[in-house]
A and B are shown apart, each in its own frame.
Chain A
Amino acid sequence: MSADPSIQAASGVHTLWTHAAEAPSIEFLQLSPALIVLGAAVVAVLVEAFAPRSARYALQVGLSALALAGALAAVIGLAAGGWATEKAAVIGIGSLALDGPALFLQGVILAVGLVSVGTFAERRLEPVAHGARVDSFAAQPAAVPGGPGEREAIKAGWTTTEIFPLLLFAVGGMLLFPAANDLLTLFIALEVFSLPLYLLCALSRRRRLLSQEAAVKYFLLGAFSSAFLIFGIALLYGYAGTVSYAGIAAVVDGSVENPSPALAAAMGNDALLLVGAALVLMGLLFKVGAVPFHMWTPDVYQGAPTPVTGFMAAATKVAAFGALLRLLYVVLPGLSWDWRPVLWGVAILSMVVGAIVAITQTDVKRLLAYSSIAHAGFILAGVVAVNPQGISSVLFYLLAYSFVTLGAFAVVTLVRDAGGEATHLSKWAGLGRRSPLVAAVFAIFLLAFAGIPLTSGFVGKFAVFKAAAEGGAGVLVVVGVLSSAVAAFFYLRVIVLMFFSEPAAEGPTVAIPSVLTKATIGIAVAATLLLGVLPQYFLDLATQAGVFVR
């Protein structure tokens, strides 16, 4: 890195532009996780263009798995090399941070992505269509639902292998999102992972209209939130004269030496800062799915193909909370007296609304969507702690939560009837008698969501509440445990339904998946129990990783 971006900030223009004549030094090694994933995504697009249709599936699955595993190995290598702690640095000409939280969350996102490749590639759940095994994605997304084009595509046994490059692009964007160290990188990373997700949501093989509706809703609301975000970025730039995190933080603190006259004039303008910060927060809280920016969650979770829902629910949350943490802890710590009360309110609202509205849900995917809203509230309780424990507890919670979520949605893909997945809760009655194992596994995930001891959910919940209590947010803890009690009610309702209700006569069957989904569920169960019984190693990891580079 040639110069500290915060000093260049005064000129108001990014270093890359003012020093275009010099070749910028790029730390390829340190950037390797994102480079591997995005490079593989580009190769995957080429595979779509040039490989014969019959070879694409194997190529894409292999390429995606390899790329994600390679990137995960790179992340682990970087962390082992000390980049998470003592060597933490700002890289990529000031645009990205390479530090503990970034590497930890990138590791989680890559693990989630890797496991999701399994559920994306699953081809044993859908009935064989005209002799071809197919996955949960539309045969030809461009065809009109129910139209002749679609029938032709199904007849030809086509599948949408484009999901794999889309997945890779999404993962690539998510890797950059929590590591973004200036607002423009933040915005670009957001768009890089959001656009593939909008598309993926629309690709369901069954109930395509619902799926497309979900995608349109997600896209429209997502576009709104992006607009808020970019507007907020503009205001913050107007306020600080820079988009770099460290630069803005310095202006917020008032610790800039010799500000330029233009900057000095703007610096007193707190309105720009407050409105800008609020708009940026809004954009991030939308991605997190916190009340009152949660409206999209149930529809999108329900309409999207379930493998996508699982991936999105787990990975988006990880990436968005990572970005939120960095923004609040690196850019706006000087403003914490202003944003803490707001986030208090958002956290309380999310916990309470998520838990209470979930009670009335009758669709298992919508139920999990509202539960994810409540969980966003729990995580926010850790975020507002504003202490080191807050960071590490949020990191741990995200790790624990993402695997439970992946596992739960993977189980949802298994319970099927003639119309595809049987997501209406009434269909799940008596599942425990038909398929004790599947029901037991789902019960484990539900108990983890409910935060019952000996599961990862409990340790995570304890960690965030402990951090919140230490940060002086005792009220938040009390609201948290009370809404946990409400939330426990609807998780247990599902367990009651599965185990104590008589099976419906025309109940769904449980499809026997291939090794891909089995592995996904197995990993998720193992992670849930391991993080619940022996969490110390991962808590240590999260504690070590809990320091942001500034």
Chain B
Amino acid sequence: MADTSFPLLTATAVLPALGAVATAAVPAARRDAAKWLALVVSLGTLALAAWIALAFDPGGARYQLTESRSWIADFGVRYELGVDGIGVAMIGLTALLIPFIIAAGWHDADPLEDASPNRRWRPTQGFFALILMVEAMVIISFAATDVFLFYIFFEAMLIPMYFLIGGFGDRAHSAGEAEGAKQRSYAAVKFLLYNLVGGLVMLAAVIGLYVVTADQLGQGTFSMQQIAEARAAGELTMATNIERLLFLGFFLAFAIKAPLWPLHTWLPNAMGESTAPVAVLITAVVDKVGTFAMLRFCLGLFPEASAWATPAVIALALVSIIYGALLAIGQRDIKRLVAYASISHFGFIVLGIFAMTSQGQGGATLYMVFHGLSTAALMLVAGFLISRRGSRLISDYGGVQKVAPVLAGTFLVGGLATLSLPGLAPFISEFLVLVGTFSRYPAAGIVATVGIVLAAVYVLLLYQRTMTGPVDKPEIERLPDLRPRELAVVAPLIALLIFLGLFPKPLTDIVNPAVEHTLSDVRKTDPEPALPEVEAAK
């Protein structure tokens, strides 16, 4: 199983990691060099990710581009990488978004004045190095087929994220500089504690998994492949209650990361206090590790327990969808609004995963990608807007579309993508999730549909309050439109949203076989269509 060919997955993760070190080492005076270096590295990573997508054969083995080396033999830990279609899609999303995040955050970490107390204090270099470090860790997480390896990076990525949230905020805070720093620090700590607690509970479950496999196979293992084979051969059977406990340990960590109601409360703080690019990094990239891990690890390792927990998880997902959307409607802060919208969307993703149908899970995977793109578009434009006016409050805006039509237009497209307008990519995924849910759990499908209506309310209300109406504030009159750099960030995202909305086939071709594999993990097949109406809806 050891592959002697070029370790493409490792390279894709190592490149940004090395780039992070190099970026951090750029001297303080050469700030711009650090930015360009980070951008070039992220584009190089994107090229490698594209190579992965091309090298991946959708009809081939389940895990491809595999690498396998011994790492910590004492713990049965191997350095095992491999991607299925879902992994390819997620690595692609990550590698695609990071250049945009870097370009959008070009000036976010510029020091206010060069009065730093120490020449070694290099916030700009640190900012971009941390982003690249997160990218490297996320990519390894998506590629890991060894549970322990995954866990290491799942946890380790909290540290650079924590510094990104706590160390870099918006220039002007509506509550004043000192208060802003305090809230930022609070958000960072909250983010870390929530995720760390989840991670530590998962650690107990990881140890439990080791004990179970060591008990039954003689040698403890964390390899997904080995566990799957042993399970198929009947050598590994978990006692029902142990499997359920382990499932809960894993699921808690992923549900915090995803985030699922009622474990979501860190997200609005974290997204609200961090800069827009970092907020995108959180919700569009890092949080996806949680939903991805539900698909790969919860369903893959604990199929029976997953089936057992499905009703509860679906209920939580539905609450997330409705609750997130309702709270989004009530927000006065643009970034927090997007955060609550994301909570609603994560509800859809989890719903799709646990509907246990091929449309549902395929839709959920597409949803992860498309939500990444649409949130990035909306949030980055919102970030540009906020950086102009120096306020996150919706009430500080109004009539922007008259003075900055391009900004308003791109904001609208991002918003429409968020509400899943047909023709834009998220519509496809949301539709698939709903169809997949409906075919197994019609009632849940109906409740989830309400989320779509609510999404229209919060997006259109946001647009109406900020962009339309009279220009009655002097700050708005002087609001400049999008600059070329900003347009270069937004335009490709919007183009992608439209392109994938009309032609999602390349992506679905990659994703679908992997979804079939995942479904076979949980030994589920799509339900026979019972009603002709359902058939027609497909």
A residues contacting B by CB (< 8 A) are 432-437, 447, 452-454, 458-459, 462-463, 465-466, 469-470, 474, 477-478, 480-482, 484-485, 488-489, 492-493, 496, 499-503, 535-536, 539-540, 543
Contacts and interface: CB of A to CB of B under 8 A. Distances in A.
B118 A434 contact: yes
Contacts of B308: none
B196 A499 contact: no
B204 A478 contact: yes
B317 to A, nearest CB: 26
B163 A452 contact: no
Given A453-B155, A478-B204, 6 more contacts: A488-B192, A492-B189, A500-B167, A500-B184, A535-B74, A539-B75
B201 A481 contact: yes
A499 B159 CA distance: 13
Contacts of A433: 116-118, 121
B36 interface: no
A432 B122 CA distance: 11
Contacts of A540: 73-74
Contacts of B181: 500-502
B189 A462 contact: no
Contacts of B208: 469, 474
A501 to B, nearest CB: 8
7 contacts: A433-B117, A433-B118, A436-B120, A453-B151, A466-B210, A485-B193, A539-B74
Interface in B363-407: none
A499 B151 contact: no
Contact of A481 (B72, B163, B204): B204
Interface string B69-87: 0111111000000000000
A205 to B, nearest CB: 28
Contacts of A489: 189, 193
B214 interface: yes
A492 B201 CA distance: 18
A175 B156 CA distance: 36
A542 B196 CA distance: 29
| Range for the number of chain B residues in contact with chain A | 35 or more
B185 A477 contact: no
B288 to A, nearest CB: 20
B211 A481 contact: no
Interface string B186-202: 00110011001100110
Nearest to A539: B74
A174 B200 CA distance: 34
A494 to B, nearest CB: 12
B74 A452 contact: no
A545 to B, nearest CB: 13
| Residue picked from B74, B162, B184, B185, most chain A C-beta under 10 Å | B74
B259 interface: no
B267 interface: no
Nearest to A493: B189
A100 to B, nearest CB: 15
A511 B152 CA distance: 35
B166 interface: yes
| Residue picked from B181, B193, B196, most chain A C-beta under 10 Å | B196
A518 to B, nearest CB: 16
A462 B207 contact: yes
Contacts of A452: 155-156, 158-159
Contact of B188 (A469, A470, A500, A543): A500
B531 to A, nearest CB: 46
A493 B185 CA distance: 10
A496 B155 contact: no
Contact of A536 (B73, B185, B196, B203): B73
B242 to A, nearest CB: 10
A462 B204 contact: no
Given A492-B189, A500-B166, A536-B71, A454 B207 contact: no
Given A435-B120, A453-B153, A454-B152, A535 B72 contact: yes
Nearest to A488: B196
A462 B75 contact: yes
A436 to B, nearest CB: 5
Interface in B126-164: 151-153, 155-156, 158-159, 162-163
A469 B213 CA distance: 12
Contact of A484 (B74, B167, B178, B200): B200
Nearest to B149: A453
| Residue picked from B158, B167, B203, most chain A C-beta under 10 Å | B203
A488 B194 CA distance: 11
A466 B75 CA distance: 9
Contact of A437 (B117, B120, B151): B120
Nearest to A470: B211
A482 B207 contact: no
Contact of A469 (B159, B189, B211): B211
B200 A482 contact: yes
A502 B185 CA distance: 11
A462 B203 contact: yes
Nearest to B214: A470
A18 B71 CA distance: 54
B262 to A, nearest CB: 18
A402 to B, nearest CB: 20
Contact of B185 (A458, A480, A496): A496
A498 to B, nearest CB: 11
A88 B152 CA distance: 37
A481 B203 contact: yes
Contacts of A480: 204
B117 A469 contact: no
Contacts of A488: 192-193, 196, 200
Nearest to B178: A502
A482 B201 CA distance: 7
A465 B73 contact: no
A434 B204 contact: no
B127 to A, nearest CB: 13
Given A452-B156, A500-B167, A459 B200 contact: no
B70 to A, nearest CB: 8
A435 B185 CA distance: 20
Contacts of A435: 118, 120
A444 to B, nearest CB: 10
B167 A499 contact: yes
B197 to A, nearest CB: 5
Given A453-B153, A485-B197, A466 B207 contact: yes
A240 to B, nearest CB: 36
A272 to B, nearest CB: 38
A447 B73 CA distance: 24
